[in-house]
Structure 1
C-alpha cells in the first residue's frame, strides 16, 4: 500500500558518460545533485545511476547515493527503476528505493521500502518524489 510522501527534491544532472554499447544496448552512467526534504528535513542528495536501454527504448536503471543534512546526518540509498524518454527530451523513471542511516532522526527509514517518480528534462533539470511503501 502506498503510504505518505516522505521526500521530494529538485536537482541537476552533473555528469554523463557512456559505459559501453555492447550488443547495441547503450549503457549510460549519470550523476546528479539535488536539494529538497526527507522526512521534513532539508537535505542535499548526491547520486549516480546506471541505465541500459533496450531495443524498444525501455530503460532499466540502478543507482545509489548519499543524502546529507546541514546537521551532518547521512542517509544512503539504493534504487532500481524502469523508464523511458519523455516528451520534453528527457527521461521518466518509476521504481523502488531503500534507505540506510545510523542517525536517530532517520532510523525509521531503515528497513523501509519506498517508491519513487523521477522526471528529467532535456537540460538535465530533475525532480523526484518518494512515498513510503507499506
Structure 2
C-alpha cells in the first residue's frame, strides 16, 4: 500500500511538501534559467554551472541526461523543469509528448481527441501487477 493515497495514481508525481523539500535546489537551478545570462552561462559549461546548486548526484545526472520524468520523481516541479526544456528549444506540448513516451504527434492527436481514457489509468492497483 502506498504511503500516501495519491501515490497510487499511475504516471503521476504529485508535487507535495515532501517532494518540494527534496527538489528545492533542483528547482532553484531550473528557475534560474529564466534569465538569459544564466542560460548563457549554463550552455557554456553545464557541469560548472550546476556546481552552484547543491543537488544530489542523481538530480544532477537527471539534468545532464535530460531525464524529464526522473527530474519530477526527484522533486522537480514541472513548471520549473520546463525552463530547462525551453532552454533546449522544447515547448511544453513537445515536453509532454517526450515524457509520455508517445512522441509529439501521437500526444497531440490524443489530446485533440479528449486525452487518455480513464479505464485502467485511475489507480496503479487496477493494473494488477503493482503492490
Larger RCO (CA under 8 A, 6+ residues apart): 2
Q: Hey, which of these two has a bigger chunk of strand by percent?
A: 1
Q: Do these two structures clear the TM 0.5 threshold for a shared fold by scoring above it?
A: no
In our comparison, the structure showing a higher alpha carbon Rg is 2
TM-score range, shorter chain: under 0.3
What is the TM-score of this pair, normalised by structure 2?
0.21
Q: Hey, which of these two has a bigger chunk of helix by percent?
A: 2
